Amino acid sequence: MTQVGTAETGRGDTGPQDARPGALRSVVRRAIRAGSRPGPWKRGPVLAALAVLLGLFMLLHARIPNRIGNLGSLAETFLPWFGLFIPVLLAAALWRRSASATAALLLPVVVWGSLFGGLLGDKSHPGRDLTLVSHNVDADNPDPARTARDLAASGADLLALEEITAQAQPLYEKALAKAYPYHTVLGTVGLWSRLPLSETRPVDTRQDVGPLGDAKPADEKMSYNRALRTTVATDHGPLIVFVAHLGSVRVSPANGFWTESRDRNARALAEAIAAEHDKRVVLLGDLNGTTDDRAFAGLTSQLRSVQEAAGDGFGFSWPAAFPIARIDQILVRGVEPDSSWVLPATGSDHLPVAAGISW
């Protein structure tokens, strides 16, 4: 009995010894698999490349050519929104546990911050001599009188309106008469003022080009005039004010970003402002483009954006239902921007923009 027990015990002891080679092979296989996996710096090369490309795209946006479909201007119009790709790429990099992709995201973060970080803080300060408001009231506005009352309640000293139709003009004039003793309307643009106006004249923004345009009589051109220049008498001296509505833009598969009339208008307006000898100049209007767009270099080289100088955020103004771009502008020179903000929606497809300035 004792011998049998000893034999059985001996056979039982050989089990673990027989299992050791299999366990060793399993450990070796796991080590090989772990060693063959890419490290955190080797994971996500595609994500890292996308992050670098995004940063370079924003950094070198001015070098994107406009020769094909005005791609450069189109990119610059919506340039701030490219920052939304940063958190998307960051989430993907963290999911992949890619150190290289996370590090590569520093480039677009720094570029976006240098371009637009300054817009995120409130740069306004108290004290202003004049309040300015500009609004594209929309030719299809269903209730011009209500829009006029809302704008008068803003307390603006100078109120510029664009896209005024012949049918709506009497309604605006009646609703604004009490608050604004002075006003001028030339074509589809107008200025209402608490201060006296003088030397008002249309500005030729080259709406008509070529022989057919040159042959049109002045009164016919005036019916759709889209820019004016006037002088406002202030306690600090004359203030030159331009009100403008530049040509529309279109996006289509065939033509890309079509901006021909707008760009032509912008160049003509820049020339008119450059010809002004007075140092205090204000431009109010719907420019149908953002100040990042290279098409406005002639204007932005002479005038400052009040939103960039004294606003809080991007100040998007279009479309009113869900604003994605600031195409309504207040630009100045020779005066101090104190504040800039966007007013509540009216019956228009644009939001009104406002600013406070001082001397």
CB atoms within 10 A of CB 132: 25
Tell me how far apart the alpha carbons of residues 20 and 93 are, in angstroms, rounded to a whole number: 41
At residue 6, the pLDDT reads 47
Q: Is 18 exposed, middle or buried (0-12, 13-18, 19+ CB in 10 A)?
A: exposed
- Looking at residue 179, what is its pLDDT? 97
Q: Is 39 left (phi over 0), alpha (psi -120 to 50) or beta?
A: beta
* Structure confidence at residue 35 (pLDDT): 47
- Residue 9's alpha-carbon distances to 1, 13, 17, 100, in angstroms, are 12, 6, 14, 58
Q: Report how far residue 137's alpha carbon sits from residue 168's, in angstroms, rounded to the nearest whole number.
A: 10
**Pairwise CA distance, residues 264 & 288, whole Å:** 12
Phi–psi pair at 82, nearest 5 degrees: -65, -15
CA distance 146 to 135: 14
Residue 45 makes CB contacts below 8 A (sequence gap 6+) with 100
**278: CB partners within 8 A, 6+ apart:** 238, 240, 334
Q: What is the pTM of this model?
A: 0.86
- pLDDT at 215 (0 to 100): 65
Nearest-5° Cα angle at 227, 226 to 232: 145
**Tens of each residue's pLDDT in the chain, 359 residues:** 445 444 444 445 555 555 566 776 676 566 555 545 567 788 899 999 999 999 999 999 999 999 889 999 999 999 999 999 999 999 999 999 999 999 999 999 999 999 999 999 999 998 899 999 999 999 999 999 999 999 999 999 999 999 999 999 999 999 999 999 999 999 999 999 999 999 999 999 998 876 666 667 777 778 889 999 999 999 999 999 999 999 999 998 878 999 999 999 999 999 999 999 999 999 999 999 999 999 999 999 999 999 999 999 999 999 999 999 999 999 999 999 999 999 999 999 999 999 999 99
Question: What pLDDT was estimated at residue 152?
Answer: 95
Rounded Cα gap, residues 156 and 175, in angstroms: 14
